[in-house]
């Protein structure tokens, strides 16, 4: 049974049983405590916690998930995968234990011909929470299971919570017995390799507090409504139904594994370590494909870093299988073909997805080449200094800064005959993980505090009137100070105010929040920010300018009309620039993020090379032609499917409901789903002036533009500069580029001559400085400050000239200079000095420590430096002191 068929049977069954079928949410979650949707219940958290009233009493879905906390286990076990699909059925105050158990058992054990999954009853075991007699009794009553196949486990295994105060409850897990080939008999309590968990039924009925750990908390009462939250692992059911040993060999994953086998020339099943690598490749390619399809792009932080890590682990694994060249065009294509039946977007959006994937692989292959060079130098230096191991900090630097995997470092070091201080490396890695966990905990605490909004959201959604009104009178639903709900806030306090209706736009879709005020009887509030802390609720962060604002008072929200107008101009201009980019570059140039504020727009888009001056000019001209043509700007609210059929662009990173707001500029020329505010016709934008274009990562570019009066002022400022130049240089405007180029060339020639004169002057001092060498113990020493110098190279050349004059003696030359406000010390040693124990690198480090910087180098010549120019005399003294101490 194919994976897609299992999912469809699941949805069909629950739709037949009056469940609303909910589409999968994005892998990118709104929850700031999570990078990704890590479990099937994540999209339903607002309903399960009571934060937001559920739009349905019962639902079912197939949810895409990404979980990377146990990434090191991928490939080693039958069930660990970073991307997985969770089948779930949900009840919000509707059916409870009996219904959940009944539905699960019927679907699992009904014959395939009747639409079920066709499991044999004898192969199924269940676990229940140790005190849950009700669930154990229901399993006997509904399924007829004997007590011997119902095992009771403790909180560690059979009690669910978020890990925070809030909803919780016992759970019951269903296991499939894979047979004696896979382990010991005795049920899941004895062996969870043979007995594989396939479905978890959570009976969410209690409220917990004082959470000290996963198993240590206090149950403080019943929830107002009892909920059902279930999750059945689609990949686990698939590998059982398909008769294979693990999830990597199922129909949606195996094609990538097989392609890796073909590319490597090695055989799957022949060697344990190779098998792990093949499975890692199959898993990570699929995960990367699905993340890219949901708009995540490779970067060095957050979600992008996780994606980059998955892709680079894939490249690394292929390299360890003996493949050094590019493989993503083959591997990602195989995954696309395997996943497109369930997720057509991976084929529909292949041009963009593949562009990112192939560019990331190309970049990392270059990184591996440069990292190998850096590693070769580090290995050479370690061996040259008589060390038998590469230091942990060096290995960590390669990993953390250059993205060079530790196992490749180990491999190359082993080939060179040295080891790696793995203990020190692991310590640094653990410190990094601890910092990351601390950051994650702070994010988790932040989301936990959102429970304060639950009661306000339960009153209904905040009505936004700002599309048509710049002023709206409503009432105050709530006041929060320092995250705590209070009756009122008085003059001088910063507070959050929640209104039943508001004309003020909350930051979203790239458009910043409105500016404005809120007034009421005896009070005035300055609006500092407007946000949506939970879906459907708008909160205003305000400063109380005068009076006291309290719950249930009348409140009039007033928008700063000038700021709103400028923001609308920028947002509509963003749509024009997007359309112009796609007209110029093609349909693969799609938006990857934007920022719109009064008079300014920033627009990121998928593209892998810098735009030429001619292309930027063309984009700017197309955009301004659209302004000139006074195109109508219209908005419609319609079903999402209808909007997509009309060609409306749904932008990555945005979440859309069943009904969406579509914005047309000039009809289908620019048609996007957008909740922002806009001008009524393109002529109101006024002017669009592209002022910048840059790279923001592999295959991502950014354009910046000024809009309206800000664009005019910028062009006026440029005109004033041009006027000043034409006057000062007595040159017509059209000849300015040539004249400035001539002056620049003349200046460079003059600077070159001056540098040559300065270098000659320095060189002429070599005989004098050599003659002033002083005896310090066994050495002849020249330690002098040169004052100002053009470059460190000139000072180095002088030091080497002095050394040549003293080459027959054990001489040490240390010259200091001010190079453009930075202190530099060059140290050179003769062969005789080195034989006596003098090392230029160590002496340069001693000087640099005094200068507040760093330094080092070879034993014969080295350089140190720092920012404290006034300390140069002390730095030269530090050299002679170190020399006298035998450095």
CATH of residue 528's domain is 2.40.30.130
In Å, how far are 344, 653, 655, 750, 790 from 25, measured between CA atoms?
15, 11, 8, 65, 61
Residues of the chain above pLDDT 90, percent? 59
In the prediction, which pLDDT does 786 show? 87
Q: Which has more confidence, 431 or 584?
A: 584
Q: Kindly report the CA angle at 649 between 644 and 655, in degrees rounded to 5?
A: 85
Q: How far apart are CA 160 and CA 231, in angstroms?
A: 12
Is 575 part of a structural domain of the chain? yes
- Which distant-in-sequence residues (6+ apart) come within 8 Å of 165 by Cβ? 207, 208, 209, 210, 211, 448
pLDDT tens-digit map of 326-354: 999 999 999 999 999 999 999 988 988 99
In the prediction, which pLDDT does 79 show? 67
Q: Which of 214, 126, 107, 234 is nearest to 171 (CA)?
A: 126
Is 451 part of a structural domain of the chain? no
- Say which DSSP state 511 is in: B
Is 869 part of a structural domain of the chain? yes
Token pair in block for residue 426: 């692991």
What's the length of the chain? 887
3-state secondary structure of 436: helix
What average pLDDT does range 432-438 have in this prediction? 64
- State which H helix or E strand residue 541 sits in: strand 537-546
3-state secondary structure of 791: coil
The DSSP line for 83-131 is: EEEEEEEEEESS--HHHHHHHHHHHHHS-GGGTS----GGGEEEEEETT
The DSSP line for 568-599 is: HHHHHHHHHHHHHHHHHH-TT--EEEEEEETT
End position of a domain, from candidates 559, 581, 596: 559
Q: CA-CA-CA-CA torsion for 537, 540, 546, 550, nearest 10 degrees? A: 20
pLDDT tens-digit map of 501-523: 999 999 998 899 999 999 999 99
In the prediction, which pLDDT does 887 show? 61
pLDDT tens-digit map of 26-40: 998 877 677 888 888
pLDDT category of residue 442 using cuts at 50, 70 and 90 = very low
In the prediction, which pLDDT does 131 show? 93
Quote the crossing angle between the two packed helices 254-264 and 328-339, to the nearest 10°.
160
Give the pairing type, strands 150-153 and 124-129: parallel
Is 751 part of a structural domain of the chain? no
In the prediction, which pLDDT does 867 show? 87
Does 53 have pLDDT greater than 90? no
What average pLDDT does range 735-754 have in this prediction? 90
Residues 653 and 536 in one domain: no
The DSSP line for 123-191 is: GEEEEEETT-HHHHHHIIIII---GGGEEEE-HHHHEEE-SSSEEEEEEEEEEEE--GGGS-SS-TTT-
pLDDT category of residue 651 using cuts at 50, 70 and 90 = low
CATH of residue 144's domain is 3.30.930.10
Contact 685, 708 (CB under 8 A): yes
Mean pLDDT check: name the lowest of 450-464, 554-568, 779-793. Answer: 450-464
Q: How far apart are CA 45 and CA 34, in angstroms?
A: 12
In the prediction, which pLDDT does 503 show? 97
284 belongs to an annotated ligand binding site = no
Does 855 have pLDDT greater than 70? yes
3-state secondary structure of 233: strand
In the prediction, which pLDDT does 415 show? 64
Q: How far apart are CA 829 and CA 362, in angstroms?
A: 44
What average pLDDT does range 302-308 have in this prediction? 87
What average pLDDT does range 46-55 have in this prediction? 83
What average pLDDT does range 99-110 have in this prediction? 96
In the prediction, which pLDDT does 436 show? 59
Residues 228 and 288 in one domain: no
Does 445 have pLDDT greater than 80? no
Q: How far apart are CA 637 and CA 464, in angstroms?
A: 14
In the prediction, which pLDDT does 122 show? 94
Residues 377 and 481 in one domain: no
In the prediction, which pLDDT does 373 show? 67
CATH of residue 608's domain is 3.30.980.10
571 belongs to an annotated ligand binding site = yes
pLDDT tens-digit map of 586-606: 887 888 889 999 999 999 988
Number of domains in the chain: 5
In the prediction, which pLDDT does 150 show? 96
Average pLDDT across the chain, whole number: 89
Residues 712 and 810 in one domain: no
122: left (phi over 0), alpha (psi -120 to 50) or beta: alpha
- Which distant-in-sequence residues (6+ apart) come within 8 Å of 524 by Cβ? 517, 518, 544, 545, 546, 547
In the prediction, which pLDDT does 710 show? 95
Does 443 have pLDDT greater than 60? no
The DSSP line for 621-678 is: HHHHHHHHTT-BEEEEEEEHHHHHHTTPBPPTT----SEEEEEEETGGGEEEE--S--
Q: How far apart are CA 696 and CA 299, in angstroms?
A: 9
238-265 per-residue burial string, b: 16 or more CB within 10 A, e: under 16: bbbbbebebbbbbbbbbbbbebbbebbe
Residues 531 and 571 in one domain: no
Is 607 part of a structural domain of the chain? yes
Residues 708 and 793 in one domain: no
- Say which DSSP state 466 is in: T
Q: Which has more confidence, 481 or 423?
A: 481
Does 91 have pLDDT greater than 50? yes
Token pair in block for residue 650: 């749904």
3-state secondary structure of 829: strand
Is 519 part of a structural domain of the chain? yes
Q: Which of 522, 470, 519 is nearest to 499 (CA)?
A: 519
Q: How far apart are CA 293 and CA 64, in angstroms?
A: 12
- Give the structural domain span for 519: 465-559
In the prediction, which pLDDT does 655 show? 61
Token pair in block for residue 560: 């700063």
Is 755 part of a structural domain of the chain? no
In Å, how far are 129, 304, 312, 315, 481 from 699, measured between CA atoms?
50, 13, 16, 18, 44
pLDDT category of residue 663 using cuts at 50, 70 and 90 = very high
Mean pLDDT check: name the lowest of 432-441, 498-507, 751-760, 765-774. Answer: 432-441
Does 288 have pLDDT greater than 50? yes
Residues 818 and 698 in one domain: no
Contact 845, 882 (CB under 8 A): no
In the prediction, which pLDDT does 444 show? 41
**Backbone φ, ψ for residue 184 (5° rounding):** -75, 155
In the prediction, which pLDDT does 427 show? 84
In the prediction, which pLDDT does 540 show? 96
In the prediction, which pLDDT does 236 show? 93
pLDDT tens-digit map of 691-725: 999 988 767 889 999 999 999 999 999 999 999 99
pLDDT category of residue 446 using cuts at 50, 70 and 90 = very low
3-state secondary structure of 19: coil
pLDDT tens-digit map of 213-271: 888 999 998 888 899 999 999 999 999 999 998 899 999 999 999 999 999 999 999 99
CATH of residue 869's domain is 3.10.310.40
- Which distant-in-sequence residues (6+ apart) come within 8 Å of 229 by Cβ? 41, 44, 48, 88, 90, 160, 202, 204
Residues 551 and 535 in one domain: yes
Contact 362, 354 (CB under 8 A): no
End position of a domain, from candidates 511, 531, 559: 559
171 belongs to an annotated ligand binding site = no
Q: How far apart are CA 335 and CA 254, in angstroms?
A: 9
Residues 90 and 227 in one domain: yes
- State which H helix or E strand residue 472 sits in: strand 471-481
Residues of the chain above pLDDT 70, percent? 94
Residues 637 and 776 in one domain: no
End position of a domain, from candidates 181, 211, 245: 245
Residues 142 and 228 in one domain: yes
Residues 234 and 289 in one domain: no
Does 823 have pLDDT greater than 80? yes
Q: What is the 3-state secondary structure (H, E, C) of 254-305?
A: HHHHHHHHHHHCCCCCCCHHHHHHHHHHHHHHHHHHHHHHCCCCCCCCHHHH
């Amino acid at each position: 049974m194919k994976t897609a068929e299992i999912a469809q049977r699941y949805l069909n069954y629950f739709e037949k049983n009056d469940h609303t079928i909910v589409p999968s949410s994005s892998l990118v979650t709104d929850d700031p405590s999570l990078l990704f949707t890590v479990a099937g219940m994540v999209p339903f958290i607002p309903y399960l916690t009571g934060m937001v009233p559920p739009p349905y009493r019962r639902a079912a879905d197939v949810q895409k998930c990404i979980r990377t906390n146990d990434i090191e286990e991928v490939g080693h076990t039958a069930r660990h995968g970073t991307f997985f699909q969770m089948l779930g059925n949900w009840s919000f105050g509707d059916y409870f234990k009996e219904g959940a158990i009944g539905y699960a058992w019927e679907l699992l054990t009904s014959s395939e011909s009747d639409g079920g999954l066709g499991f044999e009853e004898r192969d199924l075991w269940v676990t229940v929470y140790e005190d849950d007699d009700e669930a154990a009794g229901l399993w006997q009553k509904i399924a007829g299971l004997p007590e011997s196949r119902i095992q009771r486990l403790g909180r560690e295994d059979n009690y669910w919570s978020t890990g925070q105060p809030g909803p919780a409850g016992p759970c019951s897990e269903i296991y499939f017995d894979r047979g004696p080939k896979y382990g010991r008999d005795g049920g899941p309590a004895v062996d969870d390799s043979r007995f594989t968990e396939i479905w978890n039924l959570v009976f969410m009925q209690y409220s917990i507090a004082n959470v000290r750990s996963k198993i240590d908390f206090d149950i403080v009462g019943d929830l107002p409504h009892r909920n059902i939250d279930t999750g059945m692992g689609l990949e686990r059911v698939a590998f059982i139904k398909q008769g294979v040993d693990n999830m990597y060999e199922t129909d949606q994953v195996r094609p990538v594994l097989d392609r890796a086998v073909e590319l490597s020339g090695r055989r799957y099943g022949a060697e344990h370590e190779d098998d792990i690598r093949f499975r890692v490749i199959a898993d990570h390619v699929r995960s990367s494909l699905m993340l890219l399809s949901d708009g995540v792009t490779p970067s060095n932080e957050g979600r992008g870093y996780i994606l980059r890590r998955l892709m680079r682990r894939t490249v690394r694994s292929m390299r360890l299988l003996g493949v050094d060249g590019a493989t993503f065009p083959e591997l990602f294509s195989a995954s696309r073909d395997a996943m497109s039946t369930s997720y057509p977007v991976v084929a529909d959006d292949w041009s963009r997805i593949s562009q990112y994937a192939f560019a990331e692989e190309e970049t990392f292959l270059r990184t591996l080449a440069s990292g190998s060079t850096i590693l070769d130098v580090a290995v050479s230096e370690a061996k040259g200094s008589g060390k038998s191991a590469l230091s942990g900090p060096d290995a960590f630097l390669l990993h953390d800064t250059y993205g060079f995997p530790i196992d490749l470092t180990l491999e190359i070091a082993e080939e060179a005959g040295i080891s790696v201080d793995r203990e020190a490396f692991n310590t640094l890695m653990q410190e990094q993980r601890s910092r990351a966990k601390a950051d994650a905990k702070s994010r988790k605490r932040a989301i936990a505090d959102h429970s304060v909004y639950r009661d306000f959201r339960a009153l209904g959604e905040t009505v936004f009137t700002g599309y048509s009104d710049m002023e709206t009178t409503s009432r105050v639903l709530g006041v929060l100070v320092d995250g705590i709900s209070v009756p009122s806030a008085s003059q001088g306090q910063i507070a959050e105010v929640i209104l039943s209706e508001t004309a003020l736009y909350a930051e979203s879709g790239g458009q910043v929040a409105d500016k404005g005020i809120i007034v009421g009887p005896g009070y005035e509030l300055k609006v500092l920010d407007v946000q949506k802390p939970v879906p459907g609720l708008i909160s205003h962060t305000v400063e109380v300018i005068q009076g006291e604002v309290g719950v249930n008072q009348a409140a009039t929200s007033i928008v700063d009309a000038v700021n709103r107008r400028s923001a609308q101009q920028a947002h509509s201009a963003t749509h024009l620039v997007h359309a112009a980019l796609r007209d110029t570059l093609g349909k693969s140039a799609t938006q990857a993020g934007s920022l719109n504020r009064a008079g300014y727009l920033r627009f990121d888009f998928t593209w892998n090379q810098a735009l030429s001056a001619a292309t930027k000019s063309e984009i700017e001209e197309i955009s301004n032609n659209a302004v000139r043509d006074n195109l109508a700007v219209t908005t419609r609210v319609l079903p999402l499917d209808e909007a997509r059929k009309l060609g409306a662009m749904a932008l990555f990173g945005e979440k859309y409901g069943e009904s969406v707001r579509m914005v047309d500029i000039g009809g289908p020329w620019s048609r996007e789903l957008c909740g922002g505010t806009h001008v009524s016709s393109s002529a109101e934008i006024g002017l669009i002036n592209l002022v910048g274009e840059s790279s923001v990562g592999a295959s991502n570019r950014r354009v910046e533009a000024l809009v309206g009066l800000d664009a005019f002022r910028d062009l006026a400022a440029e005109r004033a500069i041009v006027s000043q130049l034409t006057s000062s240089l007595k040159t017509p405007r059209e000849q300015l580029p040539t004249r400035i180029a001539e002056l620049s060339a003349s200046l460079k020639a003059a600077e070159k001559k001056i540098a040559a004169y300065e270098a000659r002057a320095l060189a002429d001092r070599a005989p004098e400085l050599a003659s002033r060498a002083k005896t310090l113990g066994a050495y002849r020493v020249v330690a002098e400050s040169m004052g100002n110098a053009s470059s460190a190279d000139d000072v180095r050349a002088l030091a080497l000239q002095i050394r040549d004059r003293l080459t027959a003696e054990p001489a040490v030359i240390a010259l200091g200079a001010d190079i453009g406000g930075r202190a530099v010390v060059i140290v050179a040693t003769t062969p005789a000095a080195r034989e006596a124990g003098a090392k230029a690198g160590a002496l340069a480090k001693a000087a640099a420590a005094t200068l507040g910087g760093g330094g080092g180098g070879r034993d014969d010549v080295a350089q140190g430096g720092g920012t404290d120019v006034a300390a140069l005399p002390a730095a030269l003294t530090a050299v002679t002191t170190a020399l006298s101490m035998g450095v």
